Amino acid sequence: MAPKTSEKAVTKQAPYLEVITTHMNADFDALASMLAAKKLYSEAKMVFPGAQEKNLRNFFLHSTSYLFDFLRIKDVDFNKIKRLILVDTRQKKRIGKFRELLGKKGLEIHVYDHHPPSEDDIKGDFEAIQELGAGTSILTEIIRKKGIKVTPDEATLMALGIYEDTGSFTFSSTRSEDHEAAAWLLEQGASLNTISDMLTRELTAEQVWLLNDLMASATRTTINGIEVVIAKAKRDRYIGDFAVLVQKFMEMENLNVLFALTQMENRVYLVARSRLPEVNVGEIAMDFGGGGHPQAASATILDKTLIQAEEDLNRFLLNRINFERFAKDMMTSPVIHILPDASMREAGDTLTRYNINTLMVIDENRTLKGYISRQVVDRAIFLGLEMRPVTEYMNVEFRHVGPETTLNEIQDLIINSKLRILPVLQDSQLLGVITRTDLLNILIERSSTPEFVYDSQEITSFVRMKNIKNLLKERLPVKITTLLKELGEMADELDFNAYLVGGLVRDVILKRKNLDVDIVIEGDAIKLAKAFAQNKKARVRSYPKFGTAVVVMPDGFKIDVATARMEHYESPAAPPEVRLSSLKRDLFRRDFTINTLAVHLNKGHYGTLLDHFGAMRDIKERVLRVIHNLSFVEDPTRILRAIRFEQRFGFRIGKLTESLIQNAVNVHCFENLPGQRLFLELKLILQEEDPVAVIERMDDYDILKFISPELKLTEGARAVLKRIKGILVWFNLLYLGITYEPWKVYFLGIVSSLSDDALKKIIERMQIQDRDIVNAISTRQEVNTAFKELSQLKDKSNYALYKALSPFTPEILLCGMAKTKSEKIQKSISAFFSRLKGTRVYLKGKDLIAMGYEPGPLFKDMFDSLLEAKLGGEVSTRQDEIEFVNRRFSSLPKQAKS
């Protein structure tokens, strides 16, 4: 959009006083705009209406030549002003004392501004207004078109204004005209080095402490569905570059909306930033007498304390943030339902299975016939009517709404009609439901753990949202972010919703490395996987029973894709029954809140983080919480995962979650758990960076008995595990290139004190198939014998040591090294690893045959002799070995050469 202009713009000398001014607390864009306007109004005087930002004052201290172009406001005769030229503002509240001139007869006002319109705007006789990233960009374009020359110094200062106000072209308010203006200024000789020096100054110690206090004080509140962060601090004296600190805070925490209040001296300063169109921080700053853009704004608040300013801010936020919600945004879908011919007993089973209080009754065409409550079902069963069809007792009179019904209409219906549940219909078909609890959570914007489905106490439709696409770009390889965007585009083509879920999202937030891509589809995951694989020339493994698929890319990279589903456990520790569901319910089946984050991948919503269960709060507080109270009873392996995550992330287990663990252990929840699943979780624990800490926590919760009743973490056993940890560090630092699996060493260490009978039961119950583990346990007696003989070995030759230890795997030897108290055995094993293991002779059986020797049992003696000679240093090269064989076995008959 071109700026509005008129022919009244005058640059020739005027017989009266012309003044160029800007807004209070002027920044570089304000200064640059004033100097640019001076190029158009050569006789005008530049006057600041009040104080400037500290970085601008510092600029003047080091650039005194500019001072002579400015008048102090106290030296200006207001009676002589006939033309007022406003740049980088047009708001009455922001021009200080010059506001007294407004309405003066004969005063001509010219306006150059890039801010959005407001009720406080001054109407100019001439206006050049365009919503760009910087006001200087508007004036630069006018100067360019008029052919007015600018010096390199002037071009540098004007470019500095553009770079500052656009955040070096990163702010969302930046437009192509800003780039074009800066490019022209660079052609005129603007110095990027000078601009960089001015914009990238090191933070002072005072600024660092102020930033730290802001971050420590930050609180998150949700207003009409939008998460807002408010931070505040107090200082006895003024500290400059407050806006810079707020921008750094915004970027470091990847926030969507941030309001920062700081009381310095006798004023409160507000700086606000927003990435959401629903939050116009410029309007809110105007409420305080300030202004700015929808994305960035500020205000100086006089005659109020920090507490009063925060109270005003909260009031303004409630009035200004109006995020319209519709039924389609609030409803739970798909809906748990039952068919009309189902019995009351089936209805009761379904209500109990999914922990809900109201059940929708729909036919095969998804037409809603009615609903039935838990109270009615329970009473009917008590009266012996469990086999009667639900249609006989269901409620067939119900209010309903369409998907576009507004929140206010829904509120009126639910409250005034005292509805428990409100169906959302389209053409008589049931799309979803809204409950009283859903409405309550939205109205009070509570951040408690959400509530599930209909009147239960587990999940709500309340969800926090923020966009983390920049964080994804920063934390993930380009290959993965490209795949995620392509998956989202494929979902758009198929009219599905696609989400990135699981540990990868969690670890992106925690800034930990993780490349396991898990995708949930609201739709048909297998159909999407096949379509995506076809486009990428990849392979697909699908599992229709569970609605899941694995896409194997040409380079071997795997993507797990699953249809959104929910699970029901028929009994404690039993495998779950699976049925299709929504993303929200899919996330509800997961173990801990921190694993329930999801990122929308569809193009229109790419990067939007969905937090249904307060995961971000728990991550910030570094606490592990389960989603519902029967979680550990349904799946006891979650107890082991809780302990594993606690140690991996340095989190603490929440008080309620800890109590639920203890209750599950007390009811012997692991007894019905399939042994294979227990072994898999144990293996994952032993693969952690510090498995010893996890094992110790398992002992704290009395869980080791479920591996074996004999298993006790005595001081001796604890010492063995800690020695294993140290030995593995030593072994890895040797860089010997010997392949081994550390988890097996820990496993052998844990079970090393058990009886043979207990070990046999462990193998049988856990159905352990790993050859190394089975072999190590079955040959335990041979290992003990070998170690005993090793301690008494009189033959100290390399060959004797090699023969004693070579039959055993590295895992057995490393575990034995940790268990033994014999320094001689430890040194022997160390010598074996560092000098002897891997020793091989060059000659093969075919070489001996080629030398004329007859194949047979003697070949073994010959190779043993060769190995002994090599270990003893008698031979080193292939030729040495040939000569050794011919010399040692010269008496053996050779084959006749044909």
pLDDT at 238: 85
**pLDDT over 60 (residue 571):** no
The one-letter code for the residue type at 315 is R
- Residue 737 falls in which region: left (phi positive, over 0), alpha (psi -120 to 50) or beta: left
Rounded CA separation 364/351 (Å): 20
Q: How does pLDDT run across 764-788, given as a tens digit for each residue?
A: 999 998 888 888 888 888 888 888 8
pLDDT at 438: 76
**pLDDT over 80 (residue 172):** no
Q: Is-contact 341 363, C-beta < 8 A?
A: no
Helix (H, G, I), strand (E, B) or coil at 754: coil
Q: What residue spans of 338-399 are helical by DSSP H?
A: 344-353, 374-382
Rounded CA separation 497/522 (Å): 5
The one-letter code for the residue type at 206 is E
676, containing H or E segment: helix 675-686
**Mean pLDDT within 449-466:** 42
Distances (CA, A) of 538 to 480, 525, 534, 735: 15, 15, 6, 37
pLDDT band at 12 (very low <50, low <70, confident <90, very high): very low
Quote the DSSP letter at residue 114. -
Q: Is-contact 851 885, C-beta < 8 A?
A: yes
Q: How does pLDDT run across 381-392, given as a tens digit for each residue?
A: 887 888 989 988
Q: What pTM, to 2 d.p., does this model score?
A: 0.56
pLDDT at 517: 95
Q: How does pLDDT run across 151-167, given as a tens digit for each residue?
A: 998 999 999 999 988 88
pLDDT at 221: 81
**pLDDT over 70 (residue 231):** yes
Rounded CA separation 738/732 (Å): 9
pLDDT band at 127 (very low <50, low <70, confident <90, very high): very high
Q: How does pLDDT run across 860-888, given as a tens digit for each residue?
A: 889 989 999 999 889 999 999 999 998 88
Q: Is-contact 261 300, C-beta < 8 A?
A: no
Lowest pLDDT segment from 9-23, 49-63, 752-766: 49-63
* Of the candidates 180, 188, 60, the residue with the CA atom closest to the CA atom of residue 130: 180
pLDDT at 529: 95
Rounded CA separation 453/354 (Å): 9
Rounded CA separation 451/459 (Å): 3
pLDDT cut 70: percent of the chain above it:
90
**pLDDT over 50 (residue 450):** no
DSSP 619-647: HHHTEE-BSSTTHHHH-THHHHHHHHHHH
**pLDDT over 80 (residue 169):** yes
Quote the DSSP letter at residue 388. S
